[in-house]
Structure 1
Amino acid sequence: MSSQKGNVRKTGSQKYQNKQAFKNSLHDTTPRVKLMNNVKLGGVCKRCKDIIDWKIKYKKYKPLTVPKKCTKCLEKKIKQAYYTICIQCAKEKNVCAKCGEKTEIVEEAELMSAAEQMSNEAQFEAELKLLPERKRRTFFRLQQQGKLTKELLEEAKGLAEDDEFFNDLDDFSIGDDDDCRKLDEGEDSDVSDLDEK
């Protein structure tokens, strides 16, 4: 290519072709890279999602260190890098959280971040440990049988101290457990008959 004025177009393909694609975690396995690869994008349009995915793929993504101010509600609620609108405002106005345009949203955003979900799960496990052994086992048994729905799990979080939740759980028990329930409730007529003989 000469330096002649106007002759700036390259001809032919690039000189060195890559044999393998770039891998952002090949030599760098720091927590920052793991966090970057596990980022869940939501509430953005297809174009903005592709832009952020490119930044993640080629290690150009820089996560936020402190929450950013939303351009709509002017509160420090933005926890995702490159977003300009908080998720609540974006959902209310039905716009992209990055560019702010009213386009089709690719994925719905979760209102809780991964860290908040992990803290909620840890809190839920701590509450389960505080329950008496029988109630805890009842909970795990019903969960294993698939009889616990999402609504009941949410009730369990709210009513961990109350016995009402576990009384409701008794309604879901199988016929084999009826004998155990009768003994728990004090209906031990068969046992008293045996004692009299």
Structure 2
Amino acid sequence: MSSQRGNASRTRPQKHQNRSAFKNNLHDISNRTKLINSIQVSDVCMRCKEIIEWKIKYKKYKPLTQPKTCVKCGQKAVKKAYHVMCSECGKNLRCCTKCCQDKEIVQVEQPKDEQPRLDAELKALLQSLPERKRRTFLRYMNKKDKGEEPKIDAGEEDRKDLFDKLKSLKIEEDDDDLDFLDEEEEESGEDTDGS
């Protein structure tokens, strides 16, 4: 820029031009960088989304190490960096979780390659369950679908609910196995005491 008064336009290009674009994973191929690059910004307005994406692109993004306190509900429920409101409060108030303004919220689409991976993971979890737990889960799915065929490819909220149910069944199964082992140890311990 010239120092002349009122001269706001420059005729020459910038002196030092980059030969190649900046790559945030050029010299750093750690898991943290991969995780940051895979973040999909959601529950924010378009301007806030662009700000956070810029931080990710130019390696300025710093993820949270602990959850922050939500400005609306006061609970430690904010798990995304640069957000000040939890996603539940943002959905209830229909406002941006970063700037807290009532603007149009940008929704993130699930990547197409993510969907089959989640379906395969759900099927693998289902196959790892014993028959009794598997049938319990299928009855639960049928109840949710109101009598239709059990669907594996459901919405995101339904999928989370199904994963939670599967994990609870898996935990119950592990607890049952541990109880069974404890009973065997007690029985074997009684035999050694009586001898």
Q: Distance in 2 between matches of 1:132 and 1:39?
A: 37
Specify which of 140, 149, 152 is matched with residue 151 of structure 2: 149
| Residue 107 of structure 1: how far off its partner (Å) | 1.2
State the TM-score, normalized to the length of structure 2.
Answer: 0.58
In 2, Cα distance between equivalents of 1:64 and 1:13 = 39
Q: Structure 1 unaligned segments of length 5 or more: list them.
A: 111-117, 140-146, 162-197
> Take 2:88 and 2:24, find their aligned partners in 1: how far apart are those partners?
32
AA of the residue aligned to 2:166? K
1:158 to 1:36, Cα distance in 2 relative to 1, 3 A: closer
Displacement of 1:25 in angstroms is 0.5
Moved over 3 A (4+): 4-11, 124-128, 150-161
Q: What amino acid maps onto 2:129 in structure 1?
A: L
Give the 3-state SS of the residue equivalent to 1:95 in structure 2.
Answer: coil
Contact kept? 1:87, 1:109, Cα under 8 Å = no
Residues 1:46 and 2:46 are matched in the alignment:
yes
Aligned residue in 2 for 1:102: 102
Aligned partners of 2:168 and 2:94: how far apart in 1?
35
8 A Cα contact 1:41 1:49, kept in partner: yes
**2:129 matches 1:130:** yes
SS at match of 1:50: helix
AA aligned opposite 2:41: L
Gaps of 5+ in 2: 111-117, 139-148, 171-195
Q: Deviations over 1:33-86 (max 9, x none)?
A: 111101121110000000000000000000000000000001000000000000
Corresponding letter in the other structure for 1:32: R
1-structure distance, mates of 2:73, 2:151: 36
SS at match of 2:77: strand
- In structure 1, how many angstroms separate the alpha carbons of the residues matched to 2:96 and 2:89? 10
* CA deviation profile, 1:69-125 (whole Å, cap 9, x unmatched): 000001000000000000000000000000000000011599xxxxxxx9xx68x85
- Which structure has the larger Rg over C-alpha atoms? 1
Q: Return the alpha-carbon distance in structure 2 between the equivalents of residues 38 and 10 of structure 1.
A: 39
Letter in 2 for 1:157: L
CA spacing shift, 1:65–1:158, aligned 2, 3 Å: closer
Contact 1:131-1:160 at 8 Å conserved across structures: no
**Identity of paired residues, percent?**
41
Deviates more, 1:70-79 or 1:33-42: 33-42
TM-score scaled by structure 1?
0.57
